[in-house]
Structure 1
């Protein structure tokens, strides 16, 4: 006699977002003569795919998606673009007025739009900071909803996969239970035992995953609280650094938050790559000293071994590295820093060809003593004046820079390396670098491709003011040191010109002085006269806040916090 199939009742329903269980959907109910024969209880099991299809939302996603948060952020950026266009128009219209006036009126009119521009700059900071906070929260939501990997606590999608897979495996309960010579009563007991075991296993799995889900949800709640606090605090340094490290600020953030030190904080590969993408689309801007400085600042975390191996393989295939040649620390250092500056392994061959990088290229550096700063950047102590320009180029190259682009500046600032009469009169006077070292100073090549000098006990042969002065390619500290090499070592290893490790960052100061070197390269010896004139007409703040050359080199990077408006 044929057996009949009857739907079985659901065993339990769970509260909350958990859906009804996968209790036996159908069980074999005997009828007639079949009741006395051996019977098999069929499985309530479904395939993992069916489980995912049926129970994909067993654990609910966050009610607001990361995409919705980013849409709000994009809307803010769109409004910010409108503000920027207004500022550009104000400056443009005003520029026409400046050209129409003469004499004493010029300076008054020239300063007229400064209040509008200053307010816009503050608005830019506020808007980009708020957008960054929104994007940081969006990233937290995305991790909660979709993050891959099995790190505890897992994302909603991973928890749903785990639950569906467990359901597809019957929660580990054996299903082909054979009942021999069973009476209807025995069958019912066997069935009840099976359903009870199944329900217990299902509940244990559900409760375990529910606890993990709650912990994951708690992390999102914590992120929401953190974002609220960050918005209340504003862009204090720790908050800006956090957004920068998370990739929640644009690549130009170091120029927007100049009073916050981002030089020692890596950002994400996406931000570094976006800068390279921008420069590829605007190749002329690679010549802009400010963009060159920005490239020094936008650094991503250490590349993976896979990226390094991929890059080395490409270099070997291009014939730029011999098959049997094992790269040493300097070559790997160049490769690592280049990847950290936003290059992809697919870009490495082109960069190596552009800069003529070989294993032998770094030989001049291998002979020199080094000092390392807190971020791992290397400074090279010059032993003599010969080849100093090449050492400066190689130090920039080693740290992922492009000295072929900045060679124009070094060539224009030839007095640093070759002396003032080399090109003009064909003479061979001592270079600025030679005069500095002959005075007892110690000079190091910096990762910016410039020079840093600590005068000896007799001081500097050049005028030095403030905390130091840049003469063409060389920044000279304003001090005299009994042991200048030891003093430089302390300053560089501490990462600050100040005796306080938390003082003004040396990396920012060197960015500031590199921009002054670019000004020397642009104006030549006339720069010092322009600087003096600016110092004399700079208003009550004198040579600092009223000096356009200091402003163009970024006040905050030079340590002139009093010249900028705080949040």
Structure 2
């Protein structure tokens, strides 16, 4: 309730979310044992322990969204889109997107965690991660790459993936590799970046796996503009 009050969510909305989606305090048990990290605005992110199942990861992602009761995206006056309101319909949209991108959880979560990569739930109802080996580093380009429901930061496995995810959240801005070859904070607001990446997750869900790969090859600028050119740091 504290997060809902901070985000200005009416009590009746909280009740409606719980009623329509069967949310109870027991549902948040999936977050127990996960390291909690807060951004400068007080929003909570949770790091998945090694060995977390795809199903637990999926549930943790949804419960993180519900716990935060908002993404903070609308707090920035320069965003590319209006902020989506926190309500039961938005929770359903995220559930539907998770269903469409289910391979992110069943296949990619164990793939990343099993190679000593790191994954963290976000207030946007998706995962943010860094790969654990050279092969997984190849799945992230430029300022990072979304694969289904997972946004992979482009930092590289040799810089302690879990530590870099925590640094990203605590700074509240994007993070990448500086001119000296070391990780450094960027200038892009993390709320905007995560909204951009969640828009890509929607594209994966809408286009399907092969359809999104084809769009990335044939119309990369188009899918970036559709996800928010400024939110992605392209302006």
TM class by shorter chain equals 0.7 to 0.9
- Is 2:46 aligned against 1:362? no
The gaps in structure 1 that reach 5 residues or longer are 1-334, 419-430, 536-546, 562-567
Residues 450-487 of structure 1, C-alpha deviation per residue, up to 9 Å, x if partnerless? 01111235351653211111000001112213311111
Judged with a 3 Å threshold, the aligned counterparts in structure 2 of structure 1 residues 350 and 481 are, in CA distance, closer, same or farther, namely same
Q: Provide the rounded CA distance (Å) in 2 between the counterparts of 1:449 and 1:370.
A: 15
Judged with a 3 Å threshold, the aligned counterparts in structure 2 of structure 1 residues 338 and 356 are, in CA distance, closer, same or farther, namely farther
Residue matched to 2:100: 412
* DSSP-derived class of the 2:136 partner: coil
Q: Provide the rounded CA distance (Å) in 1 between the counterparts of 2:116 and 2:162.
A: 10
Residue matched to 2:218: 533
Give the Å deviation of 1:549. Answer: 0.9
Q: Provide the rounded CA distance (Å) in 2 between the counterparts of 1:359 and 1:353.
A: 13
- Which residues of 2 match residues 147-546 of structure 1 at below 5 A? 335-383=1-49, 384-386=51-53, 387-400=56-69, 401=86, 402-418=90-106, 431-458=107-134, 460=136, 463-482=139-158, 483-498=160-175, 503-525=187-209, 526-535=211-220
Q: Residues 17 and 91 of structure 2 are in contact (CA less than 8 Å); yes or no, is this contact kept in structure 1?
A: no
Judged with a 3 Å threshold, the aligned counterparts in structure 2 of structure 1 residues 440 and 478 are, in CA distance, closer, same or farther, namely same
Alignment RMSD, CA only?
2.0
Normalized per residue, the structure richer in helix is 1
Give the Å deviation of 1:378. Answer: 1.1
Q: Residues 459 and 479 of structure 1 are in contact (CA less than 8 Å); yes or no, is this contact kept in structure 2?
A: no
Judged with a 3 Å threshold, the aligned counterparts in structure 2 of structure 1 residues 437 and 347 are, in CA distance, closer, same or farther, namely closer
Q: Number of matched residues?
A: 204
Judged with a 3 Å threshold, the aligned counterparts in structure 2 of structure 1 residues 348 and 477 are, in CA distance, closer, same or farther, namely closer
Judged with a 3 Å threshold, the aligned counterparts in structure 2 of structure 1 residues 347 and 408 are, in CA distance, closer, same or farther, namely closer
Normalized per residue, the structure richer in strand is 2
Q: Which structure exhibits the higher relative contact order, with contacts defined as CA atoms closer than 8 Å and separated by 6 or more residues?
A: 2
Residue matched to 1:556: 230
- Larger Rg: 1 or 2? 1
Judged with a 3 Å threshold, the aligned counterparts in structure 2 of structure 1 residues 462 and 394 are, in CA distance, closer, same or farther, namely farther
Give the Å deviation of 1:533. Answer: 0.5
Q: Residues 372 and 492 of structure 1 are in contact (CA less than 8 Å); yes or no, is this contact kept in structure 2?
A: yes
- Which residues of 2 match residues 52-131 of structure 1 at below 5 A? none
